[in-house]
Amino acid sequence: MPALRPVNDDSPVATWDGLVAPLLKEPAEALWRAHSDAVNAELMARWLPREPCGHLLKTDLYDEAMGEGLYPLLGLHAQHVIAVDLAGSVVAAALARYPQLLAAQADVRRLPFDRESLEIVVSNSTLDHFESRRDIGAALRELHRVMKPGGLLLLTMDNLTNPLVALRNALPYGLLRRLGLISYPAGATCGPRQLERLVQQAGFEVTETVAVLHCPRVLLVPMARRVQRHGAAADRARFLRRLLAWERLARLPTRYVTGCFVGVHARKL
């Protein structure tokens, strides 16, 4: 079992905890979270090896704190699923849902694991919460450090090639929050070619690049809230099917324009 050490004292724990703790009490996003979980699970199910590995790391627990998340799927593909999150409130909420999960409060840029102790890392929309691409590079190098040679990195981030994502990142956080469009600041991110370069520079070989979550979030998240509040079970199920239909756009040459997230499947050299 990889050795766990305490979280670093210089991590911005209080700031992130203060941002996300109020969201854990708000069920308004449950329908949207179900869609997000379904899209992420479909991608990870395709990317994960058929045979279970020994130790798999998930780099945040927000999905598991807010909904089903990926843990049920990951548990089928690893003997031990370990997860970290910077926010103690998120760790606590995820453990309340999944008591068997091995979880720790930690900064992904300074992980509490020994060198070459993990076979697979799943990082879905974690590294797009930093202030700079320098931080993204530092996190990727840290993931490389803790992974065994030949280990797999399954990574998604906000896709800066998507015009709506680019516009969101360019506008002031205060304005976007007042409009109800985001609940916490958008971090630095990049498009597919830039992400490939960052991953390669950290010591990985990129084997596949994709775009996922093709429905326009700015329009459909508020709609999901309304359906959740006022729709019957059949309405919610129908709405989720319609959301998933947007993923057909992943087959088109314009996928990096419509996809809200860019993802890479990579192997440690």
Whichever domain contains 245, its CATH number is 3.40.50.150
Task: Compute φ and ψ for 208, nearest 5 degrees.
Answer: -160, 145
Take residue 29 and report the two structure tokens written for it: 């996003």
Within a domain: 156: yes
pLDDT along the chain (269 residues), means of 10: 43 67 73 95 97 97 94 97 94 94 95 97 96 96 98 98 93 79 83 98 98 93 91 96 97 98 97
pTM of the shown model: 0.91
User: Tokens 């320098």 correspond to what residue?
Assistant: 134
> For residue 218, what pLDDT is reported?
83
Number of domains in the chain: 1
The pLDDT, as a whole number, for residue 12 is 58
Residue 168 lies in a domain: yes
> Is 185 a domain residue?
yes
DSSP state of 6: P
* Per-residue confidence (pLDDT) for residue 22, from 0 to 100: 72
Please indicate, yes or no, if residue 90 is contained in any of the structural domains: yes
Helices first, then strands: H and E counts in the chain: 12, 7
3 inside domain: no
- 37 in a structural domain: yes
pLDDT tens track for 55-107: 999 999 999 999 999 999 999 999 999 999 999 999 999 999 999 999 999 99
Q: What is the identity of the amino acid at 189?
A: T
Is there a contact between 211 and 258 (Cβ–Cβ < 8 Å)?
yes
Please list, residue by residue across 208-239, b when 16 or more beta carbons sit within 10 angstroms of its beta carbon and e when fewer do. ebbbbbbbebbebbeebbebbeeeeeeebeeb
Which tokens in the block code for residue 229? 């509040």
Note down the domain range covering 78.
13-268
How far are the Cα atoms of 11, 125, 160, 259 from residue 192, in angstroms, in the given order? 28, 14, 8, 11
Residue 8 falls inside a structural domain: no
Q: Is position 159 within any domain?
A: yes
